[in-house]
Structure formats: C-alpha cells, structure tokens
Structure 1
Amino acid sequence: MADGSGEDWSGRIDTTTAHPARRYNYWLGGKDNFAADRESGEAIARVYPAIRTTALENRYFLQRAVRFLAGEANVRQFLDIGTGIPTADNTHEVAQSVAPSSRIVYVDNDPIVLTHARALLTSTPEGATAYIDADLRDPRTILDDESLRKTLDFNQPVALMLIAIVHFLFDEDKPYELVKTLVDALPSGSYVVMTHGTADLNDPAAREYALREIQAGRLKVDARPRSHDEVAAFFTGLEVLEPGIVPVTAWRNPVTEADRPPLVDTAMYGVVARKP
C-alpha cells in the first residue's frame, strides 16, 4: 500500500491489532477500520456506553479551540500530533476558514492515517499543510523533521495540538518529559491544547465494572486515564486560559449547560494554555 508520496507501508499495517486512530474512526461512524478495531471499540463501549459521545464532544472541543486560536489569539501555525483519520472540520479546515494563511503540520504513526491525510487534507492556496510519519514518543524526530521546519516558523507562535493522544502514554513512557521537550521547543506566545481521558468524571459503579472487566481479562487497557492534578502537571510554567482544566463540554461552549451531555458521558478533560 502506497500513498502519493511513493512510500510503501504495506508491511506496517497490522489489521489484527486495534489501533486508537482506527477505533476512534469506528466510534465516529467511519469506515476506515478493521475487525480488531471494531471489536476493541465494542468492548470499551460495553464498559463505557457513552464512549461515542465522548469522541464527538472531544471533536467539538478541537474545533472550538482552533477557532479561538486562529481568531482571537491570532495564531497562524499549528502542530497537530496524533492526527487521526480525517473526518469533517479538521484542524487546518477550521483554522483556514478563519485565517486562510494558516499553516498546519500533522503527525501520526499510522500509515492509514497518513495515506488519508495526504489524499484529503488539502490546504488553501494561501496556507500550507504537511504530514510527518512519527510517534509522540520520539519528539526529537518530530522537531527535527525537514518538512516541519519548512512549513512552520519557530520564531513565531505555534499551537501544539495534543488531542486525545497523551493518555496513550503510560508512566514508563515518561509522558511529562516528552510533552516538555515539545513545549520547550515552542517560542514565547505559543499555545498548548490538550484533551486527556480521565476517570474523575465516571460514575463509581462504571469504574468498578471496568476494573472487574480488566481484571478478568475481558477488557484490554491501552490507555492511562489521569486525574485533574495529573493533567495539570503537564502545564507547569504555562498560563492556563479560562475556564481552566475542565470537561471538554465545558470549555467555551456556546451550548447551554442544560443541553450538553452529562459529565459522566464525557470523561475527558480539555485545556488551552499559553507559553509566556
């Protein structure tokens, strides 16, 4: 399998193991997934039936955050790590709808994601998009990539987008060090946007049920939910914007609280912070 870049990734696509991007695509109603992704998605949905709601609300948060950054914050550069399989209103589409000259670099380690990205995520003539085959666990490879440096000017503010990806880093991956390496490379006036899974908002009975399923081996855990304080630790030294580290449904949402999904159905924190 090759995309427009001429790269052949056929040996890297494992259809027998669930991949977070393809599973997320399944929850959003997409078709770019395999049986292993669907089986994993359904196993999680049995434990947490509102997972599709969480996926959708996470997407809505992304769109609101990018709209704010490209508009009110006047940001024109975005580094989106953990791109996911393209759907509607991706980072560059939202940013360029506000500011056509916006420049976006997408990063993912799934060949299917990159194939779709290169085929579908086309820029406005005034702006630019680029795509990097890399992993969040190797931030230096991302930062040193030639196409990144050609597309983004690190003398000007950059918005680092870490949407629903950091919770796939376990403690042994040293997630705080990885994120700090990326943040340290950003110039003053840049922004960090993150959504992160949490068990803080879950119904206690649901947490107990999930624990039993994990202990029984019926649910494979490939993510590390973190508490509010653990998420806050990623933003040490940054200026967290109002309303702070909140459920994704609560971040600058024009939808009235009464019309939003209940918090137990959106177990994800969202935060936008500025680098002084």
Structure 2
Amino acid sequence: MRDHDEERDMSLVSATENGVDLSRPNPARMYDYYLGGVHNFAVDRKAAADVLAILPETRDFALQNRAFLRRVVRYLVREAGVVQFLDLGSGIPTVGNVHEIAQDVNPDCRVVYVDHEPVAVAHSRKLLRDNDNAAIVQADIQDTDTVLSHPDTRRLLDFDQPVAVLMLQVLPFVPDADDPGAIIGTYRSACAPGSFLALAHSLTPEFWPGAVDQAIELYRRSTHPLHLRTPEQVEALFDGYDLVPPGVVFTAAWRPDHPISQQEAISSRAVAGLGRLPLR
C-alpha cells in the first residue's frame, strides 16, 4: 500500500506546474481526503487521519458542506436564474463540482474557479480542458485584482449581469487581520445588482464535541491555520446583501432536500447562507 501511495504522490507532484510544499499538510488536500479523494499526499493523509481520530465528525462536516454546495447551486440556477458563478477557494475537484451541477440544469452556465493550491489547479485544468464554459484561475482569493482582471474571468463572466460568488469553507483560513469583510466587499462592488453571495463557514469550538482544540492545533501546523467564527460573525459578513430565507442557519438546515431533526442540523458544525445584492 505504501508503494502505491508513494507512486501516486510522485504522479501528483509531476502533474503540477508549480512546486508543492510537502513539508506541511494542506487543508484543501486534507478536505479531499475527508471526501474520499485521491489528490492528497502522505503528509495530508497523516494530518487528516489525526483530525478524524480526535473528531470523527469532521468527515460528516465535509459531506454536509458538499451537500450544501449542490443545493445552493441548484437553487441559484433553477429558482434565481443565475448562469454565472465565481467559486472562490474552489479546492480540489471531486464528484459534483459547480460546473457539473449548474450545467446539468442549464448548459449555458459559466463557471470560474479560483484556487492557489497547485494540485487543485492542475487537476482542475485537466478536468476542464474540454469545457469552454468553465476555467480555473490560479490565485489567492485575497488577490482580488488578479482574480477579477484575469483573462478567463473577463472571458466567462459579465459583471454587468448577476454573478453568484461562492465562498464555501474558504474564509476559515482568512484571519481577522486580513479583514474578510473587506475582501467580500471588493467582490461585492464588482458585481451587478441582483448578484448573490453564498457562504459556508465552520463554527467556534462550543459547537463541536470532544477535543476540538487538539484538532485546531493540528491545523495550526498546516499551511493555513483555522480561524473559526460564531454564527453572528458569519451573518455579519453578509453586510450589503439581503439574506435569502432561511437566512444563516446550520449548513444541513439550509433548504434541505428532506425534513431533518435539530440534532442533524447541529451536526453540521458549520453555518451557511445566501445573500442577494438589492436591485437599485
């Protein structure tokens, strides 16, 4: 098994166009591991396994986030008529990506993914090479000028028309010192009235069972430490937007496909919401 894993790791490294830091685990690759993906390295698998040993709920948390992605994209295409998506911190592609979900409903949907992790970018480029309506931009989401002015962004997205900006589990890796509200504000200012912001954000330790502080410490040793926030802090990030019902709620409770219990909702360990820019 180890030889197979080492072969896979070497293949992943050679597939990337830029160097991969293998000295520390990367949260995007750890998340890929939680979801059962194969685009991760030994250092990521070890860290993710350590987190799961402390908090087995982390895998359910990742699956719930993925389920919210499916529901919110379908809502945006089917009910809000959105055909343009900017997925910030898109991560490593797995089954049911934004373009797959959106284009299944409306083939004319256009999607720009943004990530800076080399494995995520390399695999995304491979996945999207035959899709003229989707592209990956290699950039940090905080480098808003690069994201918004990139040729693929300008080719695929018309910012004079509504755009759905997706920020799912990316802001927990942005510290308060970097002002996540201002980052959102820059993207908000670039968007036309009627545009949307979808957010999902993991919650502070009191919403988690067990030795969550130990898991947080493991992330501190990764390339991107965690910065957890309360539901109130997450709701404040929707400044300038009108919240779409049911507002900011536990991830599993945002327009679920079937009735769920309060305990099922709480087990999300995260909140999510969708905001719409008011029409002028």
| Aligned equivalent of 2:257, options 254, 257, 266 | 254
- Deviating runs (4+, > 6 A) in structure 1? none
Q: Distance in 2 between matches of 1:162 and 1:218?
A: 23
> Unpaired runs of 5+ in structure 2?
1-12
| Cα distance change of structure 1 residues 218 and 138 upon mapping to structure 2, 3 Å threshold | closer
- Answer yes or no: is the 8 Å Cα contact 2:51–2:218 preserved in 1: no
1:273 aligned residue? 275
Q: Distance in 2 between matches of 1:201 and 1:99?
A: 41
Q: Distance in 2 between matches of 1:184 and 1:18?
A: 34
| Cα distance change of structure 1 residues 231 and 130 upon mapping to structure 2, 3 Å threshold | same
Q: Distance in 2 between matches of 1:244 and 1:218?
A: 32
Q: Distance in 1 between matches of 2:218 and 2:238?
A: 35
2:91 aligned residue? 84
Q: Give 1:87 deviation, angstroms.
A: 1.0
Q: Distance in 2 between matches of 1:65 and 1:219?
A: 28
- Answer yes or no: is the 8 Å Cα contact 1:228–1:245 preserved in 2: yes
2:138 aligned residue? 133
| Aligned equivalent of 2:103, options 91, 96, 102 | 96
1:40 aligned residue? 47
1:53 aligned residue? 60
| Cα distance change of structure 1 residues 240 and 123 upon mapping to structure 2, 3 Å threshold | farther
| Cα distance change of structure 1 residues 175 and 219 upon mapping to structure 2, 3 Å threshold | closer
| Cα distance change of structure 1 residues 50 and 261 upon mapping to structure 2, 3 Å threshold | farther
2:17 aligned residue? 8
1:178 aligned residue? 183
Q: Give 1:214 deviation, angstroms.
A: 6.9
Q: Does 1:227 align with 2:265?
A: no
Determine helix, strand or coil for the equivalent of 2:197: strand
TM-score, normalised to structure 2's length?
0.87
Q: What are the superposed Cα offsets for residues 233-263 of structure 1, whole Å, 9 maximum, x if unpaired?
A: 11112100000100110011022214x8634
**Count of paired positions:** 263
| Cα distance change of structure 1 residues 123 and 184 upon mapping to structure 2, 3 Å threshold | farther
Q: What are the superposed Cα offsets for residues 79-118 of structure 1, whole Å, 9 maximum, x if unpaired?
A: 0011111111100011001111000001000111111111
Q: What are the superposed Cα offsets for residues 164-200 of structure 1, whole Å, 9 maximum, x if unpaired?
A: 1011101112111111111111111100001001027
| Cα distance change of structure 1 residues 201 and 92 upon mapping to structure 2, 3 Å threshold | farther
Q: Give 1:265 deviation, angstroms.
A: 2.6
Q: Distance in 1 between matches of 2:32 and 2:129?
A: 20
Q: Does 1:190 align with 2:166?
A: no
- Answer yes or no: is the 8 Å Cα contact 1:43–1:219 preserved in 2: no
Q: Distance in 1 between matches of 2:207 and 2:32?
A: 23
Range that drifts further, 54-63 or 127-136: 127-136
TM-score, normalised to structure 1's length?
0.89
Range that drifts further, 67-76 or 38-47: 38-47
Determine helix, strand or coil for the equivalent of 1:187: coil
- Answer yes or no: is the 8 Å Cα contact 1:200–1:227 preserved in 2: no
1:166 aligned residue? 171
| Cα distance change of structure 1 residues 135 and 250 upon mapping to structure 2, 3 Å threshold | same
Calculate the aligned-residue CA RMSD, in Å.
2.1
1:147 aligned residue? 152
Q: Give 1:44 deviation, angstroms.
A: 2.1
| Aligned equivalent of 1:28, options 27, 31, 35 | 35
Counterpart residue identity of residue 228, structure 2 = P
